[in-house]
Amino acid sequence: MEIAELADLIWLFEDEPQGEDEDVPWPLGLQSFHLTRGVISVLFSIHPSAGEAYISVYADGEEITYIRPRHLGRLSVERERSGYEGLKLWFREDYKEPVVLQTKPTIRLSWDVKPLGDW
């Protein structure tokens, strides 16, 4: 899995990651980042060697959504002059849209799921 530099993720989440196992170095093990903006917070965990992520979004401390994207091929950090900051999780397969986690100016999770075929 192609992944952004650890320094970019620390910058994005404004915090150091918490590792599942302190003896496992980046990017081999599960690493978790936490960010709060107002009443919304996000817990973002990434396991680069497994190609998996876990994203939980909370409002006033209560979980409102959770997704676990798997078969990930790339994680990119996005910065725009408008003040937008976030990341994109790209799947290995080209036909799937990326999962987008905006971290600034607000926290927002989106995923535009295209139909995968006729049913």
Structural domains in the chain (count): 1
Residue 69, domain member (yes or no): yes
- 26's tokens: 């980046």
- What are the structure tokens assigned to 21, written together? 């196992």
pTM of the full structure: 0.90
Measured CA to CA, the distance from residue 28 to residue 94 in angstroms comes to 24
Whether 29 is in a domain gets the answer yes
Q: Is residue 41 part of a domain?
A: yes
- Would 119 be classed as within a structural domain? no
Is 118 part of any domain? no
Q: Is residue 116 part of a domain?
A: no
Encode pLDDT of 49-77 as tens digits: 999 999 999 999 999 999 999 999 999 99
CA distance 88 to 100: 5
Taking residues 28-33, what's their average pLDDT?
90
- The per-residue pLDDT for 28 is 80
Domain span at 15: 6-111
Residues 71-95 pLDDT 10s: 999 999 999 999 999 999 999 987 6
* Average pLDDT over every residue of 19-26: 78
User: Is 74 a domain residue?
Assistant: yes
Would you say 54 and 63 are in contact if contact means Cβ atoms under 8 Å apart? Answer: no
Amino acid at site 20: E
Q: The tokens 């404004």 sit on which residue?
A: 14
- Quote the CA–CA distance of 39 and 20 in Å, as a whole number: 26
The pLDDT of residue 85:
97
